[in-house]
C-alpha cells in the first residue's frame, strides 16, 4: 500500500487574493500530470480550493509537498506556506470524502464540487498519472457522494437566500424562457442572483447605483441607469431588489405609475434588501406579488432543521465509503487485484448506464443517478459471484492463474505497470 498525501489551500484558510495566485489552469495541470515526480498524482483546482493528492512508495515531508505546488505557479514558499494544509494516510481519505460530498463547501451539500472532482480524476486517469491507490480512493469518493445525492435530500435543502429566491421565481412562473427579469443591485447577493437568472433566461435588465458596475455585465444583460429604474418595471415579469439603502428606492405610488399602460400580467417582486428596498405596500398593487427576505429566511431556517436530519444519514453513508476504502488498503495483493477487476466491472456498468440514459433525453438528473445506481448494484453482484468467491474458495497459486487469464481478456488491463507476473 502506497503512502497517501494531500497538500492544499481553500476558502477556509485563504481569501480570494491568495487563492487566485494558486489557481492551476489546464495547460499547467496537464504538464504537471505528464511529468509528475510522484508515483501517482491528481490535481484539483477550483475558485475555492487548490489541492494535490499524491500516492508514493517513499515517504514525503510537508515542505516537499508545499514546495511542489508553489513551483507549479511560480510562487514563493516562505511567503505562502502558512496558507497550506497537509494531510496523510486515512486523514486524506476522510478529507476527500467530505469535500466530494460538498460538506466542506461554502454552500454545504452543493453539487458542483462533485463534477469538478470527477473532471479532475478523469484528466489525471487519462494521462496515466493515477494508479491503483488514487483510482480506488477517487472512485470510492465519487460513488459515495452519488449515494448521498440519491439516498438523502441534503443537496436539495439549500440555505442560500439567492438560491431560494430563484426557487420562488420558478414556483411563480413555471419557466422564464420568454420572461424578463430586472435586478437592482449587483453586489455579492445581486451577482449570485444574476448567475441563477442567467441559467433560465437571456432577457435580463440590471441597475446599480454606480452605472459602471452594471456595464461590466453588458455581455449578458441590458444595463439601466439607477435613476431610470422605474422605466423598466413595466417591461419586467420579475423584479429582484438587492441594493444597500436606508430608505426604500421603490415606493408604491411610483411603482403603480410605472405599471400604467403596460400589459396586465402577474409580476413578482423579491426584496432581498435589509433594510427593505421597496415599500411592502407594493404588494397591494393588483397583479403584484411581494416577497421580502424575512419570508425566505423562514425557508432557510426550516431547511437548516431538515438538513440536520439528512446530515446524519449522509455521514453514515460517508462512513461506509471510508470503511470500504480502509478495508481495501488492508487487502493482500491478490485480493487487491480482484478488487481492481471488480472496479472495472463497475466502470463498464457506469458507461453502459450513461449510454442508455443518453438515449432517453427526458430523464431527469435524479433518474439518471438512480439508473446508474441500479447498474452498479448489478455489477457488484456479478463481481461477488465470479470474482470474490474465487478468492475465498481456492489456493493462492490457482487464484493467480485465474487472474492471469482475466488479464488476457477485455476485463483486464486496468492495473498499472503491465502484465501480472
Per CATH, 1-151 and 161-297 having the same topology is answered no
pLDDT digits (tens, 9 = 90+) for 120-166: 999 999 999 999 899 999 999 999 999 988 888 777 766 678 888 88
Interatomic CA distance for residues 201 and 180, integer angstroms: 7
What is the predicted pLDDT for the residue at 412?
Answer: 42
pLDDT at 411 over 90: no
Sign of the Cα torsion 221, 193, 116, 78 reads positive
Cis check: omega of the bond before 275, within 30 degrees of 0: yes
Query: Of 111, 112, 140, which Cα lies nearest the Cα of 53?
Result: 140
Other CB atoms within a 10 A radius of the CB of residue 94 amount to: 16
Banded pLDDT at 109 (limits 50, 70, 90)? low
| Partner residues linked to 348 by β-bridges | none
The three grid cell numbers given for residue 244, joined into one nine-digit string: 444597500
- Check residue 317 and give its pLDDT: 95
Dump pLDDT digits (tens) for 261-299: 777 678 999 999 888 999 999 999 999 999 998 888 777
Q: Where exactly are the structural domains of the chain?
A: 1-151, 161-297, 335-421
Percentage helix, strand, coil for the chain under 3-state DSSP, each rounded to 5: 55, 10, 30
Q: pLDDT tens digits for 210-236?
A: 999 999 999 999 999 999 999 999 999
Q: What distance in Å separates the CA atoms of residue 106 and residue 178, rounded to the nearest whole number?
A: 32
Positive or negative, the Cα torsion across 2, 105, 238, 218?
negative
pTM for this predicted structure: 0.60
Flag whether pLDDT at 304 surpasses 80. Answer: no
Dihedral, 397, 403, 408, 409 alpha carbons, nearest 10: 150
Q: CATH number of 1-151: 3.40.1190.20, 3.30.460.30, 3.40.50.300, 2.50.20.10?
A: 3.30.460.30
What is the SS3 assignment for 286? coil
| Span 340-358, pLDDT tens digits | 788 888 888 888 888 888 8
Cell of 138: 477517487
pLDDT, tens digit (0-9, with 9 covering 90-100), for 47-91? 789 999 999 999 999 999 999 999 999 999 999 999 999 999 999
Higher-confidence residue: 106 or 88?
88
Q: Tell me which fold the domain 161-297 belongs to.
A: Rossmann fold (3.40.50)
Amino acid at each position: 500500500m502506497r503512502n497517501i498525501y494531500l497538500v492544499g489551500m481553500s476558502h477556509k484558510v485563504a481569501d480570494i487574493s491568495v487563492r487566485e495566485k494558486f489557481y492551476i489552469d489546464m495547460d499547467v495541470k496537464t504538464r504537471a500530470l505528464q511529468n509528475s515526480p510522484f508515483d501517482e498524482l491528481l490535481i484539483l483546482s477550483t475558485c475555492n480550493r487548490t489541492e494535490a493528492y499524491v500516492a508514493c512508495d517513499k515517504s514525503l515531508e510537508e515542505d516537499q509537498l508545499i514546495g511542489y505546488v508553489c513551483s507549479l505557479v511560480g510562487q514563493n514558499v516562505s511567503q505562502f506556506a502558512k496558507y497550506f494544509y497537509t494531510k496523510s494516510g486515512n486523514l486524506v481519505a476522510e478529507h476527500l470524502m467530505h469535500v466530494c460530498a460538498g460538506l466542506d463547501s461554502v454552500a454545504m451539500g452543493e453539487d458542483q464540487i462533485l463534477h469538478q472532482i470527477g473532471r479532475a480524476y478523469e484528466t489525471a486517469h487519462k494521462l496515466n498519472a493515477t494508479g491503483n491507490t488514487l483510482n480506488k480512493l477517487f472512485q470510492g469518493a465519487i460513488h459515495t457522494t452519488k449515494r448521498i445525492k440519491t439516498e438523502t435530500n441534503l443537496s436539495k435543502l439549500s440555505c442560500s437566500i439567492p438560491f431560494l429566491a430563484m426557487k420562488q421565481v420558478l414556483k411563480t412562473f413555471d419557466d422564464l424562457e420568454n420572461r424578463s427579469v430586472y435586478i437592482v443591485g449587483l453586489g455579492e447577493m445581486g451577482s449570485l442572483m444574476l448567475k441563477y437568472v442567467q441559467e433560465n433566461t437571456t432577457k435580463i435588465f440590471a441597475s446599480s447605483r454606480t452605472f459602471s458596475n452594471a456595464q461590466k455585465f453588458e455581455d449578458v444583460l441590458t444595463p439601466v441607469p439607477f435613476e431610470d429604474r422605474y422605466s423598466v418595471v413595466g417591461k419586467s415579469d420579475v423584479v429582484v431588489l438587492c441594493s444597500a439603502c436606508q430608505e426604500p428606492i421603490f415606493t408604491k405610488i411610483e411603482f403603480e405609475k410605472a405599471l400604467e399602460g403596460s400589459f396586465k400580467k402577474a409580476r413578482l417582486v423579491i426584496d432581498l434588501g435589509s433594510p427593505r428596498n421597496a415599500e411592502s405596500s407594493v404588494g397591494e398593487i393588483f397583479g403584484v406579488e411581494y416577497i421580502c427576505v424575512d419570508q425566505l429566511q423562514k425557508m432557510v431556517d426550516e431547511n437548516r432543521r431538515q438538513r440536520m436530519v439528512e446530515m446524519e444519514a449522509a455521514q453514515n453513508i460517508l462512513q461506509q465509503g471510508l470503511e470500504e476504502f480502509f478495508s481495501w488498503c488492508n487487502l493482500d495483493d491478490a485480493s487487491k487485484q480482484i478488487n481492481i477487476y471488480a472496479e472495472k466491472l463497475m466502470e463498464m456498468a457506469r458507461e453502459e448506464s450513461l449510454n442508455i440514459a443518453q438515449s432517453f433525453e427526458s430523464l431527469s438528473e435524479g433518474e439518471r443517478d438512480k439508473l446508474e445506481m441500479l447498474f452498479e448494484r448489478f455489477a457488484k453482484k456479478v463481481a461477488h459471484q465470479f470474482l470474490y468467491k474465487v478468492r475465498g474458495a481456492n489456493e493462492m497459486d490457482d487464484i493467480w492463474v485465474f487472474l492471469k487469464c482475466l488479464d488476457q481478456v477485455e476485463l483486464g488491463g486496468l492495473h498499472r505497470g503491465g502484465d501480472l507476473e
